[in-house]
Amino acid sequence: MADHLNVRSTGQGDRAVVLLHGLFGSGNNLGQLARGLSHDFCVFSVDLPDHGRSSWLERPSIAKYAERVAQWMDSENLSDVFLVGHSLGGKVAMQMALVRSDLVHKLIVLDIAPKAYERRHDPIFLALRSVESARLSTRREARAVLLRHLDDPQVADFLLTSAVLSDEGFLRWRFNLAGLEAGYVSILAAISVGQGEALCFDGPVLFIRGAHSDYVPTDAKIAFAPLFKRLQVVTVKNAGHWLHQEQPETVLTIVRRFFAP
C-alpha cells in the first residue's frame, strides 16, 4: 500500500496518546512508555514513514512525516490527543503541533529541539551500508561489522532491532536506508511553517531533556518560547539522549504528571 502507516494500539481510555519514535527506529522503541501509559490511555505506537513496517517516501522530511501522521489521525477520527515524540519523532510532533494544532492537546518532546542540527550520523550511515554490502546472514556477524565503525555497542544493538532477512537470506534494514541518507539534510533542518500556518502552538508543551545530552540547550524555555508559549523544560539526571530507556520510571512519572488533569 503506497501510503501505509503501521500503527499498533494498546490500552483503553477516553484520551488517546500517540507515540513517535526516533531515527532508524520503530514504534517498538517507546514500548516501555506505551505499556506504562496503557492503564489509563489508549496508546498508539506509530512506525514513521521509511521506518518499521510503514511505507517509504521518495524523499523524507519532517514536514512530510508530520503530514502523513496527521492524515492517519484524520482517517481514525483522532484529535485533541496527547502527542509524544523522541528525537526525530519529537521534531515531527512539534511540526504537527504548529501545522495541525487541532490534533494536539498536549505535547511532550523527548530530548530534541526545533532547531537545525549539524551532521552527526555519518558513521552510522557508513556502518549500515557496510552491513548490507557484506551480505551477512546473522546478527552476530552484522554486529561485528557495525562495531568496526561505531564505538557504542548500545547503538549497534539498537540498529540491529531493525535488521531482517531478505528473500535471498541476507540481512537488510527494515528502514529506508537510501532514502534516509538522501533526505538527511531535511531531517536535520529546523522546524518551519508555511505561509498562512500557525507561528505558535498555544497548548501545553513539555521538553524532557537528558542531563548528559547536548540535543536540547539549557536555555530552551527562552529560546523556543516564540514557537511554544506554554513551554516547560525538565532535565532528567543520569540520562543521555535515550532517557526513556536509561531512566524509564522517572520519564514515565514525568509524563503521567504532565498528562494529569
pLDDT digits (tens, 9 = 90+) for 194-217: 655 557 899 999 999 999 999 999
pLDDT, the chain, mean: 94
Q: What is the pLDDT of residue 13?
A: 85
Predicted structure pTM score:
0.95
> Where is pLDDT greater, at 1 or 238?
238
| Mean of pLDDT values over 118-131 | 97
Give me the pLDDT at residue 19, please: 98
Quick one: pLDDT at residue 197? 58
- Residue 2 pLDDT > 70, yes or no? no
| Per-residue pLDDT at 199 | 78
Mean pLDDT across 102-122: 97
Domain spans of the chain? 7-116+190-259, 122-182
Given 21, 51, 86, 241, which residue is catalytic? 241
- pLDDT at residue 258 is higher than 60: yes
Given a cut of 50, whether residue 1 has pLDDT beyond it is no
Selecting among 51, 87, 162, 244, the annotated active-site residue is 87
CA distances from 162 to 28, 33, 45, 157, 177 (A): 10, 19, 16, 9, 11
Taking CA atoms, 91 is separated from 110, 143, 158, 168, 191, in Å, by 9, 29, 20, 36, 7
Q: What's the whole-number mean pLDDT along residues 240-261?
A: 96
Query: Which tens digits make up the pLDDT trace of 16-58?
Result: 999 999 999 999 999 999 999 999 999 999 999 999 999 999 8
Q: Is 241 a catalytic residue?
A: yes
* Residue 182 confidence (pLDDT) above 90: yes
Model pLDDT, residue 210? 97
Q: Candidates 3.40.50.1820, 3.40.140.10, 3.40.1280.10, 1.10.150.530; correct CATH number of 7-116+190-259?
A: 3.40.50.1820
Half-sphere exposure of 123 (CA within 13 A, CB side): 11
Q: How far is CA 135 from CA 25, 115, 250, in A?
A: 22, 37, 41
Confidence tier at 3 by pLDDT (50, 70, 90): confident
Confidence of residue 114 (pLDDT cuts 50, 70, 90): very high
Whole-angstrom distance, CA of residue 217 vs CA of residue 200 = 19
Q: Is the pLDDT of residue 144 over 90?
A: yes
